[in-house]
Amino acid sequence: MDVQLERDAFSKGLQMVQNIVEPRQTLPILANVLLETEGDTLRVTATDLAVGACVSVPAKVASAGAITLSARKLGEIVKELPAAPLSLKVQENAWVVLRCGGVSYKLVGLPPEDFPAVVPTAGPAWIPLEGKALKEMLTRTAFAMSHDESRYALNGVLFSLQSGRLRVVATDGHRLALASRPLPNGGGAATGIVPRKAVQEVVRVLGVGEDVQVALVENQFVLRMPNFLLVARLIEGQFPNYEQVVPKGHPCRLVVSRSALAAALRRVSVLSEERTKPVKVLLSPGSLKLTAQNPELGEAEESLPVDYSGEELAIGFNSRYVLDALGAIEADEVVAELKDALSPGIIRSLEGEEYFCVIMPMRI
């Protein structure tokens, strides 16, 4: 293999995939990225056997071939190189000579044959999406993913394709976040739980403008952009029936300024117990009172005006969960729906049903 590349393009390509490489690896080849020529491009592939991604970088290919090199060291090298044309040449015994300007490296590679392939298993039905919209849906739900390894079905977000809508759902058993949007051309029905690492990688590589295509194949989630492909294994198991959890027809509905509520929660929860950060919410017509108390520290209390005309209600929440939900909404005003002290509450943006978050109450 003998190729010439632009340093900037190569560096950008490497950055898109190298996070997938796990720092601690028992298999030497998985600490490497695969570099292979493909037409007029150099394709860079990284995988940890659960998530894999490849990116194509424009290159002048003098002779075709493939090699693998340490992802970390290659990243460190390319980051520091001057902005000049860069050449990669494979020599005997998997040695690689990298030249850029006046710098040259001779690197120890590993043969490409043993590198696990990153390919979608079947020709998938692609769903076109705006990259920005997908990124937003993921960031607005990903915080609710569970970190409890024993409940592995919750360690990811559910992608659900049904009756012309894409729904993205995450829950950890205490709260649930759901973002949904209509699909331009309907599409079939499919579901799959995408693991946390894949979600993080997708959010990281998605920029603002570009269009993407996603697909759920039997056991895989696939994301495609021009010159980029990500394949992730789905999580085994059953996602909880989230539709059953979402309460309907709560009688108490209030509208409140998002930023004012968030600021008040942060202030009051300073005195909450550290682990679950409980805050008590006292609702009465026109006003919402937040209180927190800690026998060792004291009490905090704040009232803020709300648009509410129902009955009085007292309910407790983990203030972190409420703040997470408020942080995921962009609108200035949010709607909260409540029933009684033991029923879950809903937070959603004032307009539309595109996003909401269900939070279980706490006994305080």
Residues making contact with another protein (CB under 8 A): 24, 26-27, 29-30, 49-50, 114-116, 121, 149-150, 152-153, 155, 195, 218-220, 233-237
DSSP state of 65: -
Within 147-216, strands assigned E span 156-162, 165-171, 175-182, 190-195, 211-216
313, 340 Cβ separation under 8 angstroms: yes
Smallest gap from residue 54 Cβ to another protein (A): 15
Smallest gap from residue 189 Cβ to another protein (A): 18
How far apart CA 226 and CA 210 sit, in angstroms, is 9
Tokens encoding 153: 């079905």
Nearer to another protein, 237 or 251 (CB): 237
Tokens encoding 33: 């990225």
Nearer to another protein, 35 or 256 (CB): 35
Question: Which residues, at least 6 apart from 294, have a Cβ–Cβ distance to it below 8 Å?
Answer: 271, 272, 273
Nearer to another protein, 149 or 351 (CB): 149
Nearer to another protein, 147 or 363 (CB): 147
Smallest gap from residue 142 Cβ to another protein (A): 17
Smallest gap from residue 156 Cβ to another protein (A): 9
Smallest gap from residue 109 Cβ to another protein (A): 16
Smallest gap from residue 153 Cβ to another protein (A): 8
Alpha-carbon torsion 100, 102, 107, 113, what sign? positive
Smallest gap from residue 22 Cβ to another protein (A): 9
Residue 139 identity:
T
Nearer to another protein, 169 or 323 (CB): 169
Nearer to another protein, 31 or 254 (CB): 31
Q: Is 282 exposed, middle or buried (0-12, 13-18, 19+ CB in 10 A)?
A: middle
Smallest gap from residue 115 Cβ to another protein (A): 8
Smallest gap from residue 200 Cβ to another protein (A): 14
Phi, psi of 260 (to 5 degrees): -65, -40
How far apart CA 162 and CA 40 sit, in angstroms, is 39
Phi, psi of 137 (to 5 degrees): -60, -40
131, 206 Cβ separation under 8 angstroms: yes
343, 361 Cβ separation under 8 angstroms: yes
Nearer to another protein, 105 or 152 (CB): 152
Nearer to another protein, 17 or 346 (CB): 17
Tell me the pairing of strands 287-294 and 278-284. Answer: antiparallel
Residue 62, Ramachandran bin (φ over 0: left; ψ between -120 and 50: alpha; else beta): alpha
Nearer to another protein, 45 or 220 (CB): 220
Smallest gap from residue 49 Cβ to another protein (A): 4
Nearer to another protein, 234 or 264 (CB): 234
181-210 burial code (b ≥16 CB/10 A, e <16): beeeeebeebebbbbbbbbbbbeebbeeee
Query: How many of the other CB atoms lie within 10 Å of CB of 87?
Result: 16
